[in-house]
Amino acid sequence: MPDYRATETDLLNRGFNALADATRRDIIARLSEGEASVTDLAAGYDMALPSLLQHVRVLEAAGLISTMKTGRVRTCRLETLRLAELDRWITHYHSVWQRRLDRLGDLLNNKGDTQ
């Protein structure tokens, strides 16, 4: 039986690893405005095209973007479903910790009332 949990964890790890880099977060932000060719993306950075392509490959491996090659032009597109999955994970743990902190606050407030 396959371990679906490991696959989910691997996808989360790749997604958060990809987003850990400022250049890749910037690429995501730029693609949120619409599709762009790798050449257009590269124009905004002081790096060689192969270096930018490495960032694109990391984002693509994480499922955060997809690319399509037409002739000599490689176009990048944001994959919003993968971003939504990462957001759901963050939101879940944010709410878990918010409830814990609220309970701690209540406990501390009630402790002060008894003195």
Alpha helix locations (H) across the chain? 4-19, 22-31, 38-42, 49-61, 80-113
pLDDT band at 2 (very low <50, low <70, confident <90, very high): very low
Domain boundaries, the chain: 4-113
- Domain 4-113 bears CATH identifier 1.10.10.60: no
The region, left, alpha or beta by phi > 0 then psi within -120 to 50, assigned to residue 100 is alpha
pLDDT band at 97 (very low <50, low <70, confident <90, very high): confident
Q: Evaluate if residue 115 carries a pLDDT over 80.
A: no
Predicted structure pTM score = 0.76
Give 27-63 pLDDT, tens digit per residue.
999 999 999 999 999 998 999 999 999 999 999 999 9
